Chain A
Amino acid sequence: MLREIRPAIVLLLVLTVITGLAYPLAMTAIAGALFPARAQGSLIEKDGKVVGSALIGQEFKDDKYFQGRPSATVAPDPNDSTKTVSAPYNAANSGGSNLGPTSKALADRLKEDVDKLEGENPNAAVPVDLVTTSASGLDPDISPEAAQFQVPRVAKARNMPEDQVKQLVTANTEGRLLGLIGEPQVNVLALNLSLDRTAAK
């Protein structure tokens, strides 16, 4: 047994340096050279300022923007650090609602959101992803149905023809990879940026 002690210590240290320092640091250098923008977090700049990441959802409340999914992320309560307060799309503390299928709190929240959306657009069925919180609370995407559902509201708020807004939605819709893997999706931030660009013209 004693003869195993030296390898236990030395080997552990050597492998720790290789896998815990050399490997991640080397990968940081190589990835930074090959994919500089993605390695930094796919940040989007507008007029020289970072407005977000292409991969991270953000909260939109204004009617003239498409809105993402409800987010259940929280932040520490500024008045009492042992508690948390709701902070949608907090990209420094990801997480879901974790409410189960028989949760009354979930049923109440769903009902409230569905009622609100039905009032906003009575002509279409409410898409399920528009009232359910995502797993990360940072979902950057909505389904194409959820985007189409919001077209009348956005068009009205921007005084734009609905067809033009619809075209933007279609242009920002991504299909499945090879028609097979994944789900059709619309990146909300990208869609809203292209809306702003169209409006600025």
Chain B
Amino acid sequence: MTVIGWLQIILFCVIIVALTKPLGWYMTRVFNGERTFLSPVLRPIEAGIYRFSGVDEKREQHWLNYTVAMLLFHVGGFLIIYGVMRLQAVLPFNPAGQSAVAADLSFNTAVSFITNTNWQNYGGESTLSYLVQMLGLTHQNFLSAATGIALAVALIRGFSRASARTVGNFWVDVVRCTLYVLLPICVVYTLFLVSQGMPQTLGGYVEATTLEGVKQTIAVGPVASQVAIKMLGTNGGGFFNANAAHPFENPTALSNFVQMLSIFALGAALTNVFGRMVGNQRQGWAILSVMGVLFLAGVAVTYWAEASGTSTLHALGLTGGNMEGKEVRFGIVASSLFAVITTAASCGAVNAMHDSFTALGGMIPLINMQLGEIIVGGVGAGLYGMLVFVVLAIFVAGLMVGRTPEYVGKKIEAREVKMAMLAILVLPLMYLGWTAVGVVYPAAVASMANAGPHGFTEVLYAFTSATGNNGSAFAGLTGNTIFYNLTLASAMFVGRFFMIVPAMAIAGSLAAKKSIAPSAGTFPTTGGLFVGLVVGVILIIGGLTFFPALALGPIVEHLAMNAGNLF
């Protein structure tokens, strides 16, 4: 670890905190339906969209209708992606002449993109046409991100409203999020990325003759427009197979730094939106503090582990850290930081190969995802995931003092706690359950690339990432098989919707409640005690659920490495 390395990490954190308030202010205005500086241009388009599609923007929805609207929207999105993938061979914008994508891979990818996972069983440049990249992937990157944010806003309205029957209008929230938040940022962001060297072209792959006279086919494409929303919307599905490690998908140290910022920007800002909507910004800062504590702890461990290297490298006298699977322009620190960010949020883009990380360095991304990606988290998904944990922490605090727990003026009762527990318990069922199948079913075992405990970690990482809708991978695992295409899709589906529906049920139930004024007995939820309590609850639940699995994978691998065992 170096001083310059830590300065880069600190600079990153400072900029995120500085962005949280202004972005939160702007997004609050957008979701409250107020005028913004973009309204003169965008308002006519917005109104036209509502007229054309028969949406009454004044009519709000009950939480059930809101949820049903969201689900219908996803069914349509699924059909579009699946359709263009199956038909890409006969559709335009296919200069590389890619043939139709297989049914199981198309199914996996379609589920993956509507759930904001963006797991890459597809190979990017070797599998997909430009039309699929644009119409299938770029478009769903926008919509799954807008959906996540809309759901988080609906849950916030549950906390902030009193005796209300409705939580907002899903269509209005999605359209406003897309038009006022995501698109304008992406337009500027795309141009920045191209200025750094990221291609944005519809031209075919380039045939070059290298200095030594060898033919090199260089894949290009409309990369920048997709990468902008891939990062901002915490989607993470790569244009290229190597994702953000590919020089065209992340050309410079600066493009890398901005990509890291854009993963966290909206998720962090949503904590401020929460604070503003419930009438006290300090409530938002308290939640961001919980995230910050967990985040910095993770960064410290991964950076230390990667900078320390492995015993294999030490034995050969190689110093400078574990550079296997990392790019020179990012080095140890930016690769470690990126890995923690991408798994703290549910982004899943990678600028280094996590499979080649040290055992402990690779364990932190795994833990981040197993905790439910609540450290900033996916856009929207992180906040509602975190609020589920807050409900639980408040409940625990209430039990300790024997009082009905309350949070931001709402009594937390049996229904909310049951729904919170449902959301929290269904995730480990998916990743632990499928991992158990994956390590005994022969066709699945054949997919492991590494032997020994590392192979087990590959499988555990895959199902954890899918369930958490992250999308990063220990990429040595051969995921493009019938078994993994189907099981991973089921994990992604359950991980997304069995989280969303209970969260929306909490929103509806809270919105209907009366708001009560804080009294002397109310547990203050803006201070250090609250932050400590939530961190504690998250770690205890996480620790109890995942420690046995981690012990079999990364922990035993670390011990084996120190004992000089190779597999």
Contact = CB atoms under 8 A, between A and B. Distances in A.
Interface of A: 1, 4-12, 14-16, 18-21, 23-25, 27-28, 30-32, 34-35, 38-43, 49-62, 65, 69, 89-104, 106-107, 110-111, 114, 125-129, 131-143, 176-177, 180-183, 185, 189, 192-193, 196
B125 A94 contact: yes
A96 B238 CA distance: 14
A38 B326 contact: no
A57 B252 CA distance: 14
Given A107-B312, A182-B331, A96 B198 contact: no
Contacts of A101: 310, 312, 322, 356-359, 454, 557, 561
B329 A183 contact: yes
B125 A31 contact: no
Interface stretch (B186-194, B275-283, B395-403): B186-194
Nearest to B125: A92
B566 A11 contact: no
A38 B198 contact: yes
B135 A20 contact: yes
B208 A53 contact: yes
Contact of A114 (B210, B218, B318): B318
Contact of B324 (A27, A55, A93, A133): A133
A31 B312 contact: no
B375 interface: no
B557 A102 contact: yes
B142 A19 contact: yes
Interface of B: 4, 7-8, 11, 49, 52-55, 65, 68-69, 72-73, 75-77, 80, 123-126, 134-136, 138-139, 142-143, 171, 174-175, 178, 183, 186-187, 190-191, 194-203, 205-212, 214, 216-220, 222, 224-226, 229, 240-242, 245-248, 251-254, 256-257, 309-310, 312-313, 316-331, 334-335, 350-353, 355-359, 449-454, 457, 474-476, 557, 560-561, 565-567
A110 B245 contact: no
A64 to B, nearest CB: 10
B452 A110 contact: no
A181 B186 CA distance: 23
Contacts of B451: 103-104
B220 A40 contact: yes
Contacts of B69: 4, 7-8
A42 B214 CA distance: 19
Nearest to B257: A181
A60 B213 CA distance: 10
8 contacts: A16-B80, A31-B191, A40-B206, A41-B201, A55-B197, A103-B451, A103-B566, A139-B329
A44 to B, nearest CB: 8
A31 to B, nearest CB: 4
B567 A102 contact: yes
B560 A183 contact: no
B254 A97 contact: no
A102 B318 contact: no
A16 B76 CA distance: 10
Nearest to A14: B49
Nearest to A30: B191
B242 A94 contact: yes
Contact of B245 (A28, A93, A134): A134
Nearest to A54: B197
B247 A138 contact: yes
A52 B218 contact: yes
Contacts of A143: 320, 328
B353 A16 contact: no
Contacts of B68: 1, 4
Nearest to A115: B316
A60 B328 contact: no
A128 to B, nearest CB: 4
Contacts of B322: 101, 132
Given A8-B69, A21-B134, A92-B219, A50 B206 contact: yes
Contacts of A15: 49, 139, 142-143, 174-175, 178
Contacts of A94: 124-125, 219, 240-242, 245-246
Given A53-B218, A98-B474, A182-B331, A11 B356 contact: no
A161 B49 CA distance: 69
Given A95-B241, A95-B242, A125-B317, 19 more contacts: A15-B178, A19-B178, A39-B201, A40-B199, A58-B212, A58-B214, A61-B212, A98-B449, A99-B449, A99-B476, A100-B356, A100-B450, A100-B474, A102-B453, A107-B312, A128-B309, A135-B335, A182-B329, A183-B334
A119 B144 CA distance: 54
Contacts of A89: 216
A91 B219 contact: yes
Contacts of A35: 191, 194-195
Contacts of A140: 247
B175 A135 contact: no
Contacts of A39: 194, 199-201, 224
A102 B560 CA distance: 8
A135 B212 contact: no
A103 B216 contact: no
A20 B76 CA distance: 14
B316 A110 contact: yes
Nearest to A96: B353
A59 B214 contact: yes
A28 B202 contact: yes
Given A20-B135, A102-B359, A196 B211 contact: yes
A132 B247 contact: no
Nearest to B218: A91
B211 A135 contact: no
Contact of A49 (B205, B209, B252, B453): B209
A134 B178 contact: no
A11 B254 contact: no
B194 A5 contact: no
